[in-house]
Structure 1
Amino acid sequence: MRILAVGAHPDDIELLCAGTLVKMKKRGDEIFMAHLCSGDKGHYEIKPAELTRIRKEEAEKSASIIGAEIDGGFFGDFEIFNSPDARKKVTDLIRRTRPDVIITHFPDDYMMDHSTTSRLVIDASFAATTPNYVTRYEFIPHMPLIIFMDSLAGLNFSPTEYVDISDVIDIKVKMLLCHQSQYKWLKEHDGIDYVEFMKTLASFRGQQCGVKYAEAFRTYRVWGRVVPRRVLP
């Protein structure tokens, strides 16, 4: 299958679904990773233009660990809206990558970039199938399945599926550690060590399903988006 993971910022995918992407890659799936925002606001000292460059390089380094294609940085942080222009950009991302499955944010996650990313993915993945909605790329013949990844700290999120990532947690950590610009930022702004934060959530989800570490998901269950089989590893 072709898998597209769409986060709001560089490092969101690594925090919330990288272990699952590793397992999907191992079973032979083709992986695409995208961050809609550049991550240009996430630092106290580094200015936006320089931070954009740094975070692009960090995202590329992380994606290379699993041989994934990387794209994104279409918008500045806090400058992403469910507008016609943004919808066309995300539609083209979907038409270009032609995914069978899209993994993205839970619509009620903790901040606007995350929730807007989720809504854009939902709307654009439908628009991508419509020939008369003209963008740079040709329409796709099917609506991709959408799977929501966990919320930050798992708050207000009730999983419907789990993936055991116990055997790939070290690769997930390695991918997350590529985002070194965020280690200091998240310590100062949010008071967290992002590796410890990630492992705590993975351990909590693992306890729920009887393994050491797990990632949690919810399938987007609406007409035209449900299949009678499991697509997660």
Structure 2
Amino acid sequence: MSSTVLAVGGHIGDMDLTAGPTLAKTVLDGGRAIIVALTYGERGHPRMTPDDYRVQKVDEGKAFADAIGAEFHVFDISDGFLEVTDEVAGRLAALIRETTPDVLIAHWNRSIHRDHEHAAQLAERARFLASLPTDDGTLPTDAPRHGIGRFLHAENWEDADGFVPDTYVPIPDEPFEVWRAAIQGQAFARGETYGFRYIDYYTALLTMRGCLAGHSRAAAFKQAGSASQTLAGP
């Protein structure tokens, strides 16, 4: 049976980088991939105004999702101002009920970036709320409750504090090439904002994790309460 994978990031582009190869593999394997950005990430360009960069970020996020065959959602919340509230968690829980994912991917819960930590907490809270019997209008949806069996934390260089992967997803050549071509469309990933070579970094990370997992490339995740494992897919 094909999986539905929902990836939740703090900003547009976060899950594209960290979970993107796995999402591309999910789609190529016949599954469904959904990307959610909880903020626009519009304050991350040193030479563009937040208003202008917000428009560009949304266009880039849509283009990336289209290129790998994923669905794209962005919440109307400003970069740097993501708070852990039941209103935001409830909106995410409603999306979980409507899309019924088998796998939830989010940031690791300790990061140098507050939006990343808050996004991880919101994903966990939303997962819980989506599973509750709430037919009293508590959530903004009429969809029935839904439980997600697997919750994975993606590997991100900004979220490295205490991150020790225990789950590896092999990334064959085809999804890697699909991801690599798609991520080139994002200015920050190309190093055009603050100069960090994101694409090179995550390409090298896939190779390094592949060495440990016994594959040419692999994406690493941390799953609470699991033993070390290599998965055919998420």
Q: Match of 1:163?
A: 169
Question: In the alignment, which of 73, 78, 81 is matched to residue 80 of structure 2?
Answer: 78
Give, as a single letter, the amino acid of the residue that structure 1 aligns with 2:183: L
Inter-CA distance 153–48: structure 2 relative to 1 (3 Å threshold): closer
Question: In the alignment, which of 192, 199, 203 is matched to residue 184 of structure 1?
Answer: 192
CA contact (8 A) 1:131 1:138 kept: no
For residues 121-146 of structure 1, the C-alpha deviation after alignment (integer angstroms, 9 at most, x for no partner) is 10111111223361221354332121
Question: In the alignment, which of 56, 59, 79 is matched to residue 57 of structure 1?
Answer: 59
Inter-CA distance 63–117: structure 2 relative to 1 (3 Å threshold): same
Give, as a single letter, the amino acid of the residue that structure 2 aligns with 1:152: W
Give, as a single letter, the amino acid of the residue that structure 2 aligns with 1:170: E
Residue 212 of structure 1: how far off its partner (Å): 2.8
The number of residue pairs the alignment matches comes to 224
Distance in 2 separating the partners of 1:20 and 1:102 = 12
Deviating more after overlay: 164-173 vs 104-113: 164-173
Distance in 2 separating the partners of 1:193 and 1:6 = 22
Report the aligned-residue RMSD.
2.3
Give, as a single letter, the amino acid of the residue that structure 2 aligns with 1:186: Y
Q: Match of 1:103?
A: 105
Inter-CA distance 174–59: structure 2 relative to 1 (3 Å threshold): same
Q: Match of 1:205?
A: 209
Q: Match of 2:233?
A: 232
Distance in 2 separating the partners of 1:231 and 1:99 = 17
Q: TM-score, normalised by structure 2?
A: 0.87
Residue 39 of structure 1: how far off its partner (Å): 0.9
CA contact (8 A) 1:103 1:149 kept: yes
CA contact (8 A) 1:25 1:66 kept: yes
Spell out structure 1 runs of 4+ moving beyond 4 A. none
CA contact (8 A) 2:23 2:33 kept: yes
Q: TM-score, normalised by structure 1?
A: 0.87
Give, as a single letter, the amino acid of the residue that structure 1 aligns with 2:113: M
Gaps spanning 5+ residues in structure 1: where? 223-228
Q: Match of 1:66?
A: 68
Distance in 2 separating the partners of 1:75 and 1:99 = 23
Residue 81 of structure 1: how far off its partner (Å): 0.9
Gaps spanning 5+ residues in structure 2: where? none
Matches for 1:1-233 after TM superposition, within 5 Å = 1-132=3-134, 134-144=138-148, 145-152=150-157, 155=160, 156-167=162-173, 168-182=175-189, 183-187=191-195, 192-221=196-225, 232-233=233-234
- Give % identity: 25
Inter-CA distance 208–109: structure 2 relative to 1 (3 Å threshold): farther
